[in-house]
Amino acid sequence: MESLKEYADLFERLKLTELTVEEGDRRITLRKTPAPVSAPVCAPVLPAGVAPAPGTVVPAQNAGLPGGVIAGGNGASETAGAAGTASPAPVRKGEIVRSPLLGVFYARVNGEVRRVGETVRRGDVLCTIEAMKMMNEVTAPCDGEITEILAADGALVEYNQELFVIG
């Protein structure tokens, strides 16, 4: 690349948090501190029909809900941020397993593919995510049965994207 601006544009376009480039005796490092995540990687989901306590902030349950859901004083819920622009996400029962990083989702682990209905134990490897030629294992945060697989094999997944539901 010819200029620092091209590196900066690449950095922003790929949504990187750090980039180091070495050319001869020159070394350039671009670094961005990621914003803190308000929801844990594995967040419990409220069952259908159960409203959070008044004034409670509940993490958004998919990328289509900006900001989260805020329970009003009367028990009704409203979307924070761009109100009325997103349709409600399906309510999932169980533990949501989210992607810890941006990369390519691979369902095959040790020659086996996880399937809906399969029982897993806390710490079992559910999938791998390839990022920058490194394979990163995603493990089950709890014991249970896989009730949904939300990513396709070989698909690019984003940070904090829902991958599995364990019930």
In DSSP terms, 117 is beta-bridged to: none
Res. 32: pLDDT tops 80? no
pTM of the model: 0.48
Which domains does the chain possess?
1-34 (no CATH), 94-166 (2.40.50.100)
Q: What angle do CA 131, 95, 152 make, to 5 degrees?
A: 40
The single-letter code of the amino acid at 142 is C
The answer to whether 71 and 77 have CB atoms below 8 angstroms apart is yes
Better-predicted residue by pLDDT, 49 or 131: 131
Span 51-89, pLDDT tens digits: 555 555 555 444 344 444 444 444 444 444 444 455 566
The answer to whether 77 and 146 have CB atoms below 8 angstroms apart is no
